[in-house]
């Protein structure tokens, strides 16, 4: 089990960007769900921070409206008790001007006790991270606190280094929680359990038995509600260098010494260090038709809204095994899947007849998640005929299951002081080196129709199997299920409109 530091019986949460879209869609609903599950400390306050002059009562009404729109509904939880703990500190916040935040925190600590754990959550654009961090140091709010940074943690190699230097000047690494909510998904967490807890998988988790891995996160969503932010990042920075790289590391890491936070992070970062820089020849960039007509997008923008790439990991376990990564906006369907494709039998009486895609282990990350295994069977009947079918384990169906949405899980871990599912700067720094060739010499942007599967060249990249989700010759297979990521579960960070 992961090691946790002592959780406090009292905590003061400061939510920077409390009226922004990320807070509305993800963070505030997660706090209310923590209350529903009884996971908040015995005593707590949630202080929203922003530039506006907003009363405590107005902020409470804002949170009520947010929950009414995005859920869970206030009437479905302990709203009366929850709402008593909401406060707002206006006037902005930076090193030169703390606004009213110091006074509101002082009032909260007077009520809860000076020993209350202080937790700062930066639900703001990356461009504001440094000013808020410097403000925490300048105004005495850093010592003993925990500070949560949303992805992307920097928008370029130079910006990443400047941000990291600013954080290290003010905070000890143990205080920092860099959140990537894909690591908090139930199915992602089960990757290690399935592998290390079941020898039937753990003993074949290598290049001798696995010939490819697909990490596929297509989205049907548009970018209209965060066009300015997206036109500065694109799919490569918004998804590949963050979520998909982290998922690749979860699949590929060497067995850690234990499941404790430091050992898990050491193993994760060691495997990221073995990621081979991606050649432009192994990547396809696309842009959906009409992207430049979006308000907030430059008419001549060449930003990628689609990326497919082939990643190699230079370790003895994974050498020459392709990790195929794909994500994009305005695609035919949504999905969040990791598919581990096993080799077909090399010898034996059925080696020639077994389908090439006979055994595929899939982690479906959507919602509560599921683990699916495609296996070769005899088709029931008079003839000896091979077929494939799928065995599915919905994680919500596990006995006594109480699945938590990723933000709920990760914020609970922050309260407990458990950093197992959070990223570290040494690993993040190498991810910039991995995409360096794509930044220096990006592939030519290829247009694709809205509602399609992206540029046709991406199909060739996934040869010989093609993409298990969406390619015609795979559409009838059981891995091509009916699920689709919705706006609530998709990657809607929306940092461009968050207020600091």
209 catalytic? Reply is no
Written as six digits, the tokens of 255 are 């067995």
User: Between the CA atoms of 475, 480, 481 and 485, what dihedral angle is there, to the nearest 10 degrees?
Assistant: -110
Binding-site residue set for NADP(+): 17-24, 51, 151
Provide, for the chain, the percentages of residues in helix, strand and coil under a 3-state DSSP scheme, each rounded to the nearest 5: 40, 20, 45
Which of 193, 163, 188 is closest to 176 using CA atoms? 163
The residue annotated as part of the active site, out of 37, 243, 346, 430, is 243
Which of 62, 33, 28, 64 is closest to 46 using CA atoms? 28
Sequence-distant contacts of 298-302: CB under 8 A, at least 24 apart: 298/231, 301/231, 302/445
User: 234 in the Ramachandran plot: left (φ > 0), alpha (ψ -120 to 50) or beta?
Assistant: left
Would strands 360-364 and 337-342 be described as parallel, antiparallel, or unpaired? antiparallel
Q: Cis omega (within 30 of 0) on the bond before 72?
A: yes
Altogether, the residues listed in the chain come to a count of: 500
Binding-site residue set for substrate: 181, 185, 219, 238, 329
Binding-site residue set: 17-24, 51, 151, 181, 185, 219, 238, 329
User: Between the CA atoms of 331, 333, 339 and 341, what dihedral angle is there, to the nearest 10 degrees?
Assistant: -80
DSSP per-residue string spanning 229-295: HHHHHHHIIIIIIIIIHHHHHHHHPPPPSSSSHHHHHHHHHHHHTTBPPPPGGGEEEEEETTGGGST
What is the spatial distance between Cα 49 and Cα 123, in angstroms, rounded to a whole number? 10
Q: Which residues are annotated as catalytic?
A: 243
């Amino acid at each position: 089990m992961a090691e946790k530091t002592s959780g406090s019986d009292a905590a003061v949460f400061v939510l920077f960007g409390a009226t922004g879209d990320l807070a509305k869609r993800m963070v505030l609903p997660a706090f209310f769900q923590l209350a529903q599950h009884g996971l908040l400390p015995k005593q707590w306050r949630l202080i929203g921070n922003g530039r506006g002059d907003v009363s405590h009562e107005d902020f409470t009404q804002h949170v009520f409206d947010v929950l009414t729109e995005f859920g869970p509904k206030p009437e479905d939880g302990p709203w009366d008790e929850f709402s008593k703990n909401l406060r707002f500190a206006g006037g902005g916040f930076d090193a030169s001007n703390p606004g009213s935040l110091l006074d509101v925190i002082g009032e909260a600590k007077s009520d809860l006790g000076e020993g209350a754990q202080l937790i700062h959550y930066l639900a703001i654009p990356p461009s504001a991270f440094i000013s808020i961090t410097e403000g925490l140091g300048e105004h005495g709010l850093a010592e003993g606190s925990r500070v949560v940074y949303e992805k992307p943690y920097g928008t370029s190699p130079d910006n990443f280094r400047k941000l990291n230097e600013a954080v290290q000047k003010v905070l000890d690494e143990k205080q920092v929680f860099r959140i990537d909510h894909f690591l908090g998904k139930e199915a992602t967490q089960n990757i290690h359990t399935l592998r290390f807890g079941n020898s039937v998988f753990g003993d074949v988790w290598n290049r001798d038995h696995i010939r490819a891995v697909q990490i596929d996160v297509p989205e049907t969503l548009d970018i209209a509600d965060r066009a300015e932010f997206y036109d500065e990042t694109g799919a490569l920075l918004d998804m590949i260098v963050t979520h998909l790289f982290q998922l690749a590391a979860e699949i590929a890491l060497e067995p850690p010494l234990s499941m404790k936070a430091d050992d898990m992070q050491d193993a994760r970062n060691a495997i990221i260090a073995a990621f081979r820089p991606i050649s432009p020849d192994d990547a396809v960039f696309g842009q959906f038709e009409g992207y430049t007509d979006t308000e907030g997008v430059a008419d001549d923008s060449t930003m990628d809204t689609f990326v497919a790439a082939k990643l190699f990991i230079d370790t003895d376990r994974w050498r020459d095994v392709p990790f195929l990564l794909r994500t994009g906006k305005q695609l035919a369907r949504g999905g969040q899947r990791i598919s581990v494709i096993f080799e077909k039998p090399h010898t034996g009486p059925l080696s020639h007849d077994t389908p090439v895609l006979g055994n595929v282990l899939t982690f479906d990350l959507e919602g509560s998640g599921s683990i699916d295994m495609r296996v070769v069977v005899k088709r029931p009947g008079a003839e000896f005929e091979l077929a494939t079918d799928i065995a599915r384990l919905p994680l919500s169906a596990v006995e006594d299951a109480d699945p938590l949405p990723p933000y709920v899980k990760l914020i609970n871990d922050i309260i407990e002081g458990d950093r197992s599912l959070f990223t570290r700067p040494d690993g993040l720094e190498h991810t910039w080196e991995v995409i360096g060739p794509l930044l220096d010499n990006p592939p030519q942007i290829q247009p694709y129709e809205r509602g399609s599967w992206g540029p046709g060249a991406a199909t060739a990249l996934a040869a010989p199997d093609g993409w298990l989700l969406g390619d015609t010759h795979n559409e009838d297979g059981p891995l091509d299920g009916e699920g689709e990521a919705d706006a609530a579960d998709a990657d809607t960070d929306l940092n461009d409109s968050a207020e600091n």
